[in-house]
Chain A
């Protein structure tokens, strides 16, 4: 796979909020979550834990406490950070753990897209309720839910801020001309 292929996958991924009624094969779920494990990690601490939820009843329960979770996904990956791990990172440990979790989330969503599976990252869920439902221990914090399923459609891309607005060359404020 070349650079153009990777950029194609990055640009093609969308946040999917409407899914069709089709199961995701377990081997694809495994590949998707494995992509998360291969994300970069500050100091190689790998503070993450991933909870794959594919039980229909449990998905429904998590949906009840997740106002930002739309549609009827076939699986969820609850990305958590483990305090016992990230404390090794010093006072910045939690912040870096959140960055690690975010990079893992992107890996997961890109791998899902490459397999034709739609995804959506969800931060609007109640952490206390999700911890209770999924029996997550006190020192493990759920930070993001990725919903997964086959999309009813791939929506058009939303507008992106242009490169020359967000990229600076050598110093802040000097426009980057691509």
Chain B
């Protein structure tokens, strides 16, 4: 793979996001850790979607993340409730398999 191709590769983009976020979390507000993780989850669902692996429920999870992730800056308790909701959704998805 050429360097040009690497720059366009979604796995590589997610990889750099994870590494840079790991360093950022050392100094950033503690709730930015959860923010980076769900943002990474959204990016991963994007990749799964392109690869034909994302079921409808996962697409909904991504849409929810993209809609609500910025709550962390405006309403922390609502952000935590939103994380709880995501966990329940994932648990239901696991349960249904």
Supplied contacts A65-B16, A124-B28, 7 more A-B pairs, CB within 8 Å: A64-B13, A67-B36, A124-B24, A125-B20, A126-B24, A129-B20, A158-B73
From A17, A60, A66, A158, B20 is in contact (CB under 8 Å) with A66
Is residue A159 within 8 Å, beta carbon to beta carbon, of the partner chain?
yes
Interface of A is mostly: loop
- Determine the chain B residues whose CB is within 8 A of the CB of A57 once the complex forms: 7
Least distance between A125 CB and chain B CB atoms (Å):
8
CB pair A67–B17 under 8 Å, yes or no, is: yes
Classify chain A: how many residues form its interface, as a range.
Answer: 10 to 19
Q: In the bound complex, do residue B23 and residue A61 qualify as a contact, i.e. CB atoms below 8 Å apart? A: no
Contact A124 B17, CB 8 Å, known A67-B24, A67-B39, A158-B74? no
Q: Can you give 24 A-B contacts (C-beta < 8 A)? A: A57-B7, A60-B7, A61-B7, A64-B17, A64-B20, A65-B20, A66-B20, A67-B17, A67-B20, A67-B21, A67-B24, A67-B39, A68-B24, A124-B24, A124-B28, A124-B32, A125-B20, A125-B24, A126-B20, A126-B23, A129-B20, A158-B73, A158-B74, A159-B74
Task: Name B residues whose Cβ lies closer than 8 Å to a Cβ of A.
Answer: 7, 13, 16-17, 20-21, 23-24, 28, 32, 36, 39, 70, 73-74
**List of B residues within 8 angstroms of A17 by Cβ:** 70
Contact residues of A between 25 and 63, Cβ < 8 Å to B: 57, 60-61
Least CB distance, B92 to chain A, in whole angstroms = 28
A24 to B92, CA, bound (A): 45
Main secondary structure of the interface of B (DSSP, over half): helix
Once A and B bind, how many residue pairs between them come within 8 Å at the CB atom?
A: 30
Which A residues are within 8 Å of any B CB, using their own CB?
Answer: 17, 57, 60-61, 64-68, 124-126, 129, 158-159
**In whole angstroms, how far apart are the Cα atoms of A129 and B73 in the complex?**
25
In whole Å, how far is B9's beta carbon from the nearest beta carbon of chain A? 11
Bound CA–CA A57/B8 (angstroms): 10
Provide the residues of chain A in CB contact with B21, threshold 8 Å. Answer: 67
User: How far in angstroms is the closest Cβ of chain A from B11?
Assistant: 12
Q: Which 10 A-B residue pairs are closest in the complex by CB-CB distance?
A: A64-B16, A67-B21, A158-B74, A126-B20, A65-B20, A67-B36, A124-B24, A67-B24, A67-B20, A126-B23
